[in-house]
Structure 1
Amino acid sequence: MNPNFTPVNFSRNRHVKLWRTLYFTVGIVIFLMIGFSIWHADQKQQREARENYINSNVPTLFIHGWSGTLRSERHMADYAETTGAGQRRMIIRVRPNGHIAVKGKIEKWMHNPIILLRIDNNRAGEFQYARWLTNVCRLLKSKYHINRLNFVGHSMGSYATVYYNLLNSNRSDVPRSNKLCLIAGPYDGIIDNRKANQPLTGSLAKLWDDQPNENRLLKNGQPKIIHPEYQTLLQLQNRMPSQIRILNIYGDLNDGSHSDGVVTTTSALSLGYLVRGHVSYYQTFKATGANAQHSELHNGNLAVNRALTNFLWGRHYNMSSDEPKYNPMLDKMMNPTVLFNHQEHSQTSIGIR
C-alpha cells in the first residue's frame, strides 16, 4: 500500500454536498418569500393609496416656523409618503440674503408632489417670511410653470402663509392658492414665555404680546383684544382669494392655559373671523393633551398627520361651503378615538380623547 495514499470518504462528501444544496435551496426560498412579501405589501399600499387619495399634480409647499428647519417638516412629509398620499420632489432653500437655491424638480406627471422650504434666517419673522415666500412662489410659477399650489404652514409659517395670500391675492405672477393647512398659527398674539429663543428687544419682540386666558372670542368670532399683527391682517381681509380652502389646526394642552404652550386657542381661532365669508371652505381641527404642545403638533402627532394628509389629498374628504362633512368610513380609518363635533358657521372642532 502506498504510504502517501489518503482514503476518500465519499459518503461524507455526499453528505456535505447534500446539506450545502439544502441550505442554498432554503436560502433561495426565504429570499423569494421575503421578496414576494415586500412586493405584496407595496402592491397593497399602492392599491390603498389609489382608493384613499386623489392623484393630483398640484404641489404642496411646507413652511416651517420660528427657529424651524427642514426637520420641522420631516414627520408630516414622512407620513404622507408612508401612506402613499404624496412624495417629496423638491427642496427650496432661502439664504439670509434672499438667494433661492432649488434641489429637485416638479413635473406635470408627478403624483401629489411635496416641496419642502427651508428659510436659513428662521428668526426673521412672519412679515419677512411672507416676502421671501412671494419670491419663492414667483420662481415656481416662472421657472417650473406651477399654476396651483397647496400650503402647509406651522406657527409663524402659518401666519406668513395667510399674510402672503392677503398681499398677493390672485396675482398672475404667482401660483393660484388651492388649499391651506395651517398649524398653530399665532394670528392674534404669541404667549410671552420669556424663553431663550424669544426676542426680548426690537420690533419682533412686540409679537410676543399674549397671555393665557387674557383674550377671548366674541359671539361673532372676533377676538376681544386685537393685537397690531391681527389688525394688519384685518386691514387686508377682503383680498383673501375666495377659492381657497382652509384647515386650521390648533392645540390645547388641557392644563388650564387654553393653549399649546405658545399660542392660545383664541389666537389660533381668530383666523375664523378673518377668513369666514371670504374663502370657499374653512374648518378647524383641535388636538388636545401632551401631544398638542406647540412643537409636537408637527413632530409626529399622528392625529394631526392624518387630518393634514386627508384634507390635502383624501379622496373621500367631502368639502362643502355650506356644511363641511367627513366621510364616516374615513373618520374611522383616520382615528377611531377621535370625536367629531360639527358646529355652525362651516366650522368643525375635533377633539382627541
Structure 2
Amino acid sequence: MHFTPKKIALGIVIVIEVIIFCVLIQWQFRGRVLNTVHVKQQSTATVFIPGFGGNAASTNDFINQYSWHNVATKSLRIYISKKNHISTMKQYHPIVKNNPMVQLIFQDDLHPHRQAAQMIYAMHYLYKKYHIKKVNFIGHSSGGNIAFDYMIHNPHAKQVPTPVKLVTIGANYAPNDPLVKNLPKGLHILNIAGEIYNSKTDGEVPNKIVKPMGKLVRKHVGKYRYYVYSSNPMSAEHSMLHENPSLDKIIAEFLWNNEYPAGSEK
C-alpha cells in the first residue's frame, strides 16, 4: 500500500484526535471517586489558597468537585488587593452548617511572604462580615507556606477564625523556624507529597524537602501526618495535584471525617 504525505498527515491527525478523546473521557469521569464520599456537614469554613502565581483557576477544580458531589458548598470568592483591601467578588451560598468553602484570590500572587502578611486582613474580614469562627486551610505549593506563615506570625490575633486543620500539598518549610512554637496547639496537619510513579518527586518538589515538615511541627500541634500520593503524571505531577479527585477524596475524609489516609506517617 502506498502512503502519500497527505494520508500520513491525516493518519497522524486521527491518532491525535483519538488520544485527546480518550483523555477527555477519562477526565470527565475521574470525579466519580467522590460519589462514595459521605462527610459530616459543619460550619467550619475551608479556605483555599493558591500557590505561586496562582489564581481562581488554581483552586476551581478542587472547589467545583466538592460542590458537584455535595461534599462541601461553594460559598465565597474573596479578593485581596495589593493595598490590603478585602472584598467579596462573589457570594454563592450563605455560610451555614454546609461545609462552606472560601476561595482566596490575591492581586499580588508572586510574593508568598507578603501574601502571608495579608492573610490577617482576610481573616478579620471573614470573622466580622460572615461570622466565621473556625477555618481549615488548604494550600497548594506556596499556598501551604502562606497559611503556615500566617499562623506562626499571628498567634495572639483577635477577632479572627481559629485554625482547625491544615492541608499542605507539595510545599517545603524552613527546617528550624523558631516561630513554629506559635502554631495552634490543637491544629491537625496533613502534609501531602506527590510522587510520579516511584521517582520520589512530583516533578518539581522532591519528597525529601516535603517530609521534614514533620520534624518541625510534631511537638507543637495536636496531630500530624505525612502522606505520599504516588501515581502517573496526569495525577501526581505538581500542578496536577490540585486537579485530582482521588486526592480530593483523601483530603475530604481528613477535613470532615477526621480520617487519615492509609499509609500516612506520623
Q: TM-score, normalising length from structure 2?
A: 0.79
Residue number in structure 2 paired with 1:237: 180
Residue number in structure 2 paired with 1:293: 237
What is the CA deviation profile of residues 12-53 of structure 1, one whole-angstrom value per residue up to 9, with x for unaligned ones?
xxxxxxxxxxxxxxxxxxxxxxxxxxxxxxxxxxx977xx21
Match of 2:116, as an amino acid?
Answer: A
2:263 to 318, 321, 341: 341
More helix per residue: 1 or 2? 2
CA distance in 1, matches of 2:253, 2:69: 10
Residue 298 of structure 1 aligns to a residue whose secondary structure is helix
Indicate yes or no: 2:55 matched with 1:133. Answer: no
Indicate yes or no: 2:218 matched with 1:276. Answer: yes
CA distance in 2, matches of 1:341, 1:182: 17
CA distance in 2, matches of 1:296, 1:115: 21
Number of aligned residue pairs: give it. Answer: 229
1:115 to 102, 115, 126: 102
Match of 1:98, as an amino acid?
Answer: N
What is the CA deviation profile of residues 271-305 of structure 1, one whole-angstrom value per residue up to 9, with x for unaligned ones?
11111021111112211231211101012x12211
**Residues 303 and 173 (structure 1), Cα distance of their counterparts in 2 relative to 1, 3 Å cut:** same
CA distance in 2, matches of 1:248, 1:342: 9
Indicate yes or no: 2:65 matched with 1:79. Answer: yes
Residue 125 of structure 2 aligns to a residue whose secondary structure is helix
Residue 297 of structure 1 aligns to a residue whose secondary structure is helix
Q: Which runs of 5+ in 1 are unaligned?
A: 1-46, 188-228, 319-324, 327-339, 348-353
Residue number in structure 1 paired with 2:8: none
CA distance in 1, matches of 2:36, 2:253: 13
Contact 1:250/1:287, CA 8 A, preserved across alignment: yes
Residue number in structure 1 paired with 2:166: 180
CA distance in 2, matches of 1:105, 1:79: 15
Q: How big is the shift at 1:106? A: 7.1
| RMSD value, Cα | 2.1
Match of 2:238, as an amino acid?
Answer: H
Match of 2:79, as an amino acid?
Answer: R
CA distance in 1, matches of 2:73, 2:156: 27
Residue number in structure 1 paired with 2:22: none
Contact 1:86/1:112, CA 8 A, preserved across alignment: yes
Residue number in structure 1 paired with 2:12: none
Contact 1:85/1:313, CA 8 A, preserved across alignment: no
CA distance in 1, matches of 2:245, 2:222: 27
Residue 149 of structure 2 aligns to a residue whose secondary structure is helix
Contact 2:62/2:248, CA 8 A, preserved across alignment: yes
2:49 to 63, 69, 74: 63
CA distance in 1, matches of 2:264, 2:84: 43
Match of 1:120, as an amino acid?
Answer: Q
Indicate yes or no: 2:246 matched with 1:308. Answer: no
Q: How big is the shift at 1:186? A: 2.3
**Residues 136 and 342 (structure 1), Cα distance of their counterparts in 2 relative to 1, 3 Å cut:** closer
CA distance in 2, matches of 1:83, 1:244: 27
Indicate yes or no: 2:75 matched with 1:89. Answer: yes
Indicate yes or no: 2:189 matched with 1:246. Answer: yes
Residue 62 of structure 1 aligns to a residue whose secondary structure is strand
Indicate yes or no: 2:259 matched with 1:259. Answer: no
CA distance in 2, matches of 1:342, 1:92: 32
Residue 83 of structure 2 aligns to a residue whose secondary structure is coil
Contact 1:106/1:144, CA 8 A, preserved across alignment: no
Deviating above 6 A after TM superposition, structure 1's stretches of 4 or more consecutive aligned residues are none
**Residues 342 and 99 (structure 1), Cα distance of their counterparts in 2 relative to 1, 3 Å cut:** closer
CA distance in 1, matches of 2:253, 2:222: 18
Residue 98 of structure 1 aligns to a residue whose secondary structure is coil
Contact 1:129/1:157, CA 8 A, preserved across alignment: no
Q: How big is the shift at 1:82? A: 2.3
CA distance in 2, matches of 1:165, 1:91: 21
Q: TM-score, normalising length from structure 1?
A: 0.61
